[in-house]
Amino acid sequence: MTSSKFEPNDDILDFVIKKENGIKSLVDRSLEIIPNQCIQPKEHRLHKSQIDNQESIPTIDLTNFDDFNVEKSIQEAASKWGFFQIINHGIPIEVLDDLKDAAHKFFEFPAEEKVKYYKESYSAGESVLMFWSAIGDKNEKVLKWRDSIKHGSNPENDSNLWPSQTRNQVLEYQKWAKPLVKKLLEVLLKGLNVNEFDESLEPLLMGTVAININYYPPCPNPSITIGARRYCDVSCITLLFQDNTGGLYIRGTKGDNWIHVNPIKGALAVNIGDSLQIMSNDRYKSIEHCVAVDSSRARISVPLFVNPCFDSVIGPFSQMQKDGEKPVYKHVLFSDYWDYFFRKRPSGKASLDFAKI
């Protein structure tokens, strides 16, 4: 294509994926009409009629983290919603602001700078991966409105390979976030009668920690695109920082309604992943979520995924079965569940069938 603008029927996969320009570069070319290959099927779009403005997920103040009522609120939120926000969590606002600024700096660089970090495919635990829009699937036919970069789970050895624009900010955030994650998991385990988070449980619950930075460029027609389709996380838990643009929705409690996760300055969202739903024997719920994009503003989000080690075996905790509770899931190798999850996605909660008895 020699024209500086794209027509609806142009094949943009070559430009976006094969030439590793990403969605941001597409937008930079004065895009006025959404290319057909970015128009989502109706079943993947988020319609205004589905949005429930009467419900909202809990916001939990962690000022008194060890208070029984705070712990109970976390456990109840994980059980009913699978998603909640936390404030006064101890991570300085400056750390979050620096992370957001670093994300903008990286993604607003020219494509030829970002392409240095591009890979077409990846294996778990790699140090860095530029996903662009067809995340994890080089055969993607309809592109999501998002560019992403992954910072892997071994920063001690690999952070020198990370982009200079994000390296220090991600390392600083991870330094503050990991103790917070461990404390959240301790509280969640108490609700499952697992009262001690000893070293033997760390590989199972915090075996790998990876941080993605997602960039959702402004979109000329957000109603026919999507930043992220409806999906659950494979993780134990995910800690999410989002800027004030908004656009994150979770499936509500009433049929096919969706609830906006309203951005709160300095807050972090926490959601349960499939792995902890399996370990909790359905007491805690992973929840479908999706991302809508904005017509005038870019959106930044930074999920921190906390996963089991790949050689861990996940299944219901034995402590939960002392009172005769029947297991819903069998024990499976996490790497097998991971492979199945990513072959099936986006599949909502269907991946859990892999581990069900």
Model confidence pLDDT, tens digit, residues 60-111: 999 999 999 999 999 999 999 999 999 999 999 999 999 999 999 999 888 8
Q: What SS3 state is found at 154?
A: coil
Model confidence pLDDT, tens digit, residues 20-42: 788 898 888 877 889 898 999 99
Q: DSSP for 161-220?
A: GS-TTTHHHHHHHHHHHHHHHHHHHHHHHHTTT-----GGGHHHHHSEEEEEEEEE---S
pLDDT tops 60 at residue 187: yes
Q: Which residues contact 347 (CB under 8 A, 6 or more apart)?
A: 231
User: Cα 178 vs. chain centroid, distance in angstroms?
Assistant: 16
CA angle 138, 10, 26 (to 5 degrees): 70
CA angle 136, 139, 142 (to 5 degrees): 90
Confidence of residue 130 (pLDDT cuts 50, 70, 90): low
Model confidence pLDDT, tens digit, residues 284-343: 999 999 999 999 999 999 999 999 999 999 999 998 777 778 999 999 999 999 999 988
- CA dihedral sign, ordered 65, 79, 275, 195: positive
pLDDT, residue 69, reads 97
pLDDT tops 70 at residue 125: no
pLDDT, residue 2, reads 38
What's the whole-model pTM score?
Answer: 0.92
Q: Give residue for tokens 């936390």.
A: 86
**Facing residues of 114 across strands?**
none
Q: DSSP for 279-311?
A: HTTTSS----EEE---SS--EEEEEEEEE--TT
Rounded distance between C-alpha atoms, residue 344 and residue 351, angstroms: 7
pLDDT tops 90 at residue 118: no
Q: What's the rounded mean pLDDT across residues 254-267?
A: 92
pLDDT, residue 136, reads 43
pLDDT, residue 353, reads 92
Rounded distance between C-alpha atoms, residue 214 and residue 19, angstroms: 19
Rounded distance between C-alpha atoms, residue 198 and residue 201, angstroms: 6
Model confidence pLDDT, tens digit, residues 194-251: 988 888 899 999 999 989 999 999 999 999 999 998 899 999 999 999 999 999 999 9
pLDDT, residue 128, reads 55
Confidence of residue 1 (pLDDT cuts 50, 70, 90): very low
Rounded distance between C-alpha atoms, residue 325 and residue 41, angstroms: 42
Rounded distance between C-alpha atoms, residue 96 and residue 94, angstroms: 5
Q: Give the pair of three-digit tokens for residue 131.
A: 């996903």
